[in-house]
Amino acid sequence: MDNVRFEASDRDLSRPIIIIEESSYGNVINGLVGHTHIKADFNKNPDINVMNAKSVGMDPVPVNQFWNAAFKGSSGLELDETGAQPNRSMPGWKLEGGSAATPNANIFVIEDDAGLYPDHNVLKVDYRNFGGAFKMMADQTLLQEAHSFVTFGVYARSSVQGSISAVMRYTSGSIISSASHSGSGDWEFIGMSALYSQSAPYFYFSITGDVDLTAPTLTFGQTPATPGASLMSSSGARMSGTLTTGVGIGNPPPPSTPTYKKKWWILPQNEGNVFLMNSNSDHSIERLNDRGEDRFPRGTVITLMFDEPGTKVESNAYIELTGGEDFLSSAKTSITLITQGTGSWQEVGRNEGKQLVQPSTTPSCIGTPPSSGNYWVLPKGCGTVFLMESGPYIARLSYSTADRFPYGTVVTLVWEEAGNTVVDSAYMKLKNGQNFVSGEQTSLTLMTKGSATWYEVSRNV
């Protein structure tokens, strides 16, 4: 805004209230203005918030442009036994001073320091008094064409006067610097705000004395610095540190649910991406969040975690599983799904668990064929791996109450000879309804819920 003059209606015209000179910048104005628009350069004159029915003002977005402002993931910072630092690195940062063989600063990350901001490490720089300044700067060029102003700095604690200052390349091309640390021994924010060179942007912290650092920040425009803030935006994000997500509870449909919806589960929205599934009896899942108001946004990935065996996720038009193969939970297993924003889900992956095969407690556990018929009885208290003798096909296993195994028991039937058959039935529920026919040195693993019914866990054919 050039040659602008504010006057009061009852004041002599020779005495303006405000004059905005042609060469000025960084002025703050709030209020209304006639029909006009704010032109880019957006932030050369920030906080000029003028608006009307056909135009609005704008401020820069206070997003920290420094990646890894929490100083996480560093390695090789400290000097080795030779006094060198050949593998010094920290994500998001360049650490320059001296050489790898003779660095001019020793660096430590103080994770348990009582720093200013939660989860932000403190970087301790022990300057070695040779080789010029030690420089710390972003490992990428920071430039946004819409902005010509920059504000940046870092919290520093030092007892050495002049130990650190912020340095940048001004719009004219000259190098300018901030006021340096006073040496008070306290935390001071060392930073500056100025027009920067868009043709060769250059920002760094110049260190010539022992200093502790935390929470660096750089924003475009004259937006006040916001140390300790690290935001994610929808245009993308990078982060360091631990990403913690919420965990929700998945409950089966209530008993009052109509019969045709008994397999339609509703997971709670906005509680997380991982769901601990409450199901310790014979349940099946045919649909997830079928109603429009319950659906998750497109691209949502969820993981269903099962503590108990016996819950089936059925492959169908609404839950498309890999190879059309149903998922049957066993203890400590999971399945991961993604939605396109509709009531349909697709499988991303599954963890069907490791087979828990316990050694036999006697030299041999033998599966002996019945004297007649097709109902086999496995000896209890012998183990969970059974060497099966050849005989008629198996229609049932340990069907009588006295012969049944406890809930959750997993057994493996091993055959040395080919040609023995386990028939899929209501009592032997095999995957995809396929009978098992043994080959030489093959096996079938089954699980029971304490009843006469067994469920296939896996087969080795």
What is the predicted pLDDT for the residue at 74?
80
Q: What is the pLDDT of residue 43?
A: 42
Label residue 436 by pLDDT band (50, 70, 90): very high
CA 225 to chain centre: 26
User: Which pLDDT score is estimated for 250?
Assistant: 93
Q: Supply 290's token pair.
A: 């079928």
Is 359 a residue whose pLDDT tops 70?
A: no
Taking only the tens place, the pLDDT of each residue in 238-257 is 777 777 888 999 999 998 99
- The per-residue pLDDT for range 111-125, each reduced to its tens digit, is 756 678 877 889 999
CA distance 412 to 459: 9
Residue by residue, DSSP assigns 69-121 as TT--S-BS-S--TTS--TT-BBTTEEEESB-SSSBSEEEEEETTS--SSTT--
Asked whether residue 218 carries a pLDDT value surpassing 90, the answer given is yes
pLDDT in tens, 3-25: 566 666 676 766 655 556 666 66
- Residue 52: per-residue pLDDT: 61
pTM equals 0.57
pLDDT of residue 11: 65
H/E segment holding residue 138 = strand 134-138
Phi/psi at 401 (5° precision) = -55, -40
Average pLDDT over residues 61-87: 82
Mean pLDDT for all residues in the chain: 84
**At 361, is the pLDDT very low, low, confident or very high (cuts 50, 70, 90)?**
very low
pLDDT digits 0-9 by tens, 188-210: 999 999 999 999 999 999 999 99
In the block, tokens 């029971």 appear at: 448
> Which residues sit opposite 233 in a β-bridge?
236
User: 40-72 as b/e, with b when 16 or more CB fall inside 10 Å?
Assistant: eebbbbbbbbbeeeeeebeebebbbbbbbbbbb
Average pLDDT over residues 408-424: 91
Range of lowest pLDDT (71-75, 80-84, 293-297, 357-361): 357-361
Helix (H) or strand (E) holding 366: strand 366-367
- Whether the per-residue pLDDT at 36 is higher than 70: the answer is no
Question: Does position 315 have pLDDT exceeding 90, yes or no?
Answer: yes
Residue 452 has pLDDT above 70, yes or no: yes
Distance CA 419, CA 401 (A): 29
Q: Looking at the predicted structure, is the pLDDT value of residue 31 above 70?
A: no
* Residue 58: predicted pLDDT: 65
Determine the average pLDDT of the residues in 257-269.
92
User: Per the structure block, which two tokens stand in for 224?
Assistant: 């006040």
- Per-residue pLDDT of 89-118, as tens digits, reads 888 899 999 888 889 999 998 875 667 887
